[in-house]
Structure 1
Amino acid sequence: MKRCFEGVGLRCLLKNGNVAAAQPPKYLLIFDFDETIVNENSDDSVLRALPGKQLPESIRKTYREGFYNEYMQRVFKYMGDQGVKMADFKAVYESIPLTPGMRDLFQFLTKQQGHFEIILISDANTFGIECSLKAAGVYPLFRKIFSNPSSFDKRGYFILRPYHSHNCPRCPANMCKRKILTEYLAERAQEGARFERLFYVGDGANDFCPSLAMKSTDVAFPRRGYPMHRLILEMEKSQPGKYQAAVVPWDSALEICTCLQEALKKKC
């Protein structure tokens, strides 16, 4: 497994054969949300807003692998039937704790906003993510948030919709994070943005797919022991050399912070 930044150097900008005036490096930092920024799965957390704090078995049995978004639509409808309102959802989302070290990482990023462009790609929902990030005081750090659209209808029911459709066999029907990431990179390239390096922070199986689009100069930060990390290890064992990005597993976001600090020190 490649270690953090092993064999990776940052190149100075060249112009007409000469080193141009040094410019601040521009990195793209991509975050997942559930069990990455926050230390819980927010779809499980919202059940605390239910009067009985749990779903009936009749709802649980409707889950089909790969169709989690459809399942959560049924969950939210049931919660609406039970009288759960927007304020109840908001209170839960605002109370979900950050993962260890995440607040320190965000403090570091707040001071280094000139170096990092930050986006979030999550299979949760826009309302919950925005509530959580605003409560933590870090919402302004994110240039863009990609998640399943959500809103409240006239009845006060929480309405969830799929993000998009795609043809990726690895991902759930409603979201392929690799498609989102590659389209974002293409869009930013058209706008003139050129990222020297990508950093991806995640935990789930759906974070493995976008990390496959990363290059050897990029860094994947899988949460140690979680599905993304296990899938990377399996690929490295079964297909040595196929996984391109450097891999830095983490238990605390302080480990991510340390590696990002190292990246800035290596700038030319």
Structure 2
Amino acid sequence: IMSLFPVHLYTCISQKRFLIFFDFDETIVDETSDDMVVQTAPGQHLPGWLKDTYQPGRYNEYMQRVLAYLAEQGVTESDIRTIMEKIPATPGMLTLFQYLRTRPPQDFEVVLVSDANTFFIESWLRRNGARQLFHRIFTNPGTFNKDGRLVLRPFHSHNCQRCPENMCKQVIVRDYVARRTQERGRPYQRVFYLGDGANDFCPALILGPRDVAFPRRDFPMHRLITETHEAMPGDFKAVTVPWVSAEEVVQRLRKLVAE
């Protein structure tokens, strides 16, 4: 079987030095895609009765109802794609993507972990020429049915008390790193994680002292890391590099890659 798979490709995937995880909403893009899709609704807002159905920890189920409502109002696949394509990137993010693209192929394995959905993410990445950068995308499945409705499903189930019912990013990151390390036969030199939200704090907890967490400055992930350092020194092991512009991430990666 191996003879059918070019040796240089196998080596390229297997021998990456660094693994870098990205969140999507308010990390890659400067808005929350779930909020942006509301712009396709009549009057660009949702009725009160629909908003009132939201329950904490069950946001995925709420978004399923929102997307069903939008379809009933005549919102099309094209309408949603157009809105997604217009979301601005966060400051410096396209510079960071360009940096990762121009590195030698053995440097970075790039993975996206998001509580958005496949359609929102793929629409934005393709519009911005960034889809090829990502080795894997872990997110909630979002596909259009025969009636033209975007149907959203939960990514998985888990037992983490910190995270929403449909996704624990720590489970995804931990399992991915373990599987890839086994496939490669050796660990990565470092693991990096870029995020902004409370659900990005959970996976960052399993990073080691050589790894780097890149929380967006003054967003929930950053605040939770700071609170953990104060309340339980030593519990959060990764080096923490907050950022306002992703160009700051590029600067830090340049130094770490050169070591």
Instruction: Tell me the TM-score normalized by structure 2.
Output: 0.92
Q: Which amino acid aligns with 1:38?
A: V
Alpha-carbon distance in structure 2 between the residues aligned to 1:31 and 1:131? 16
Q: Indicate yes or no: 2:254 matched with 1:258.
A: no
Alignment-derived partner of residue 10 in structure 2 = none
1:135-194 CA deviation, whole Å, 9 max, x = no partner? Answer: 111110000000000101111011000000000001000000000011111211221152
Alpha-carbon distance in structure 2 between the residues aligned to 1:187 and 1:42? 30
Q: Indicate yes or no: 2:129 matched with 1:137.
A: yes
Alignment-derived partner of residue 217 in structure 2 = 224
Alpha-carbon distance in structure 2 between the residues aligned to 1:157 and 1:211? 35
Residue among 235, 238, 255 paired with 1:245:
238
Q: CA deviation at 1:241?
A: 1.4
SS in 1 for 2:28: coil
Alpha-carbon distance in structure 2 between the residues aligned to 1:62 and 1:231? 28
Alpha-carbon distance in structure 2 between the residues aligned to 1:229 and 1:68? 22
Q: Give the percent of matched residue pairs that are identical in Structure 1 and Structure 2.
A: 51
SS in 2 for 1:122: strand
1:189-216 CA deviation, whole Å, 9 max, x = no partner? Answer: 2211521100000000000000001000
Alignment-derived partner of residue 189 in structure 1 = 181
Name the structure, 1 or 2, with higher relative contact order (CA <8 Å, separation 6+).
Answer: 1
Residue among 157, 161, 172 paired with 2:153:
161
C-alpha contact 2:16 2:109 (8 A) present in aligned 1: no
Aligned residues: 243
Q: CA deviation at 1:25?
A: 6.3
CA RMSD of aligned residues (A): 1.0
Structure 1 runs (4+) greater than 6 angstroms displaced: none
SS in 1 for 2:42: coil
Alignment-derived partner of residue 100 in structure 1 = 91
Q: Indicate yes or no: 2:85 matched with 1:90.
A: no
Q: Indicate yes or no: 2:199 matched with 1:206.
A: yes
Residue among 17, 32, 48 paired with 2:39:
48
Alpha-carbon distance in structure 1 between the residues aligned to 2:200 and 2:212? 13
Alpha-carbon distance in structure 1 between the residues aligned to 2:173 and 2:235? 20
Alpha-carbon distance in structure 1 between the residues aligned to 2:91 and 2:189? 28
Alignment-derived partner of residue 174 in structure 1 = 166
SS in 2 for 1:159: strand
Alignment-derived partner of residue 11 in structure 2 = none
Alpha-carbon distance in structure 2 between the residues aligned to 1:85 and 1:186? 40
The gaps in structure 2 that reach 5 residues or longer are 1-14
SS in 2 for 1:130: helix
Alignment-derived partner of residue 118 in structure 1 = 110
1:199-245 CA deviation, whole Å, 9 max, x = no partner? Answer: 00000000000000100000000000100001001111111111100
Q: Which amino acid aligns with 2:227?
A: E
Alignment-derived partner of residue 18 in structure 1 = none
Q: Which amino acid aligns with 1:144?
A: R
Q: Which amino acid aligns with 2:223?
A: R
Q: Which amino acid aligns with 1:238?
A: A
Q: Which amino acid aligns with 1:207?
A: D
Q: CA deviation at 1:50?
A: 1.5
Alpha-carbon distance in structure 1 between the residues aligned to 2:138 and 2:38? 23
The gaps in structure 1 that reach 5 residues or longer are 1-23
Q: Which amino acid aligns with 1:159?
A: V
Alignment-derived partner of residue 120 in structure 2 = 128
Instruction: Tell me the TM-score normalized by structure 1.
Output: 0.89
Residue among 31, 49, 60 paired with 2:51:
60
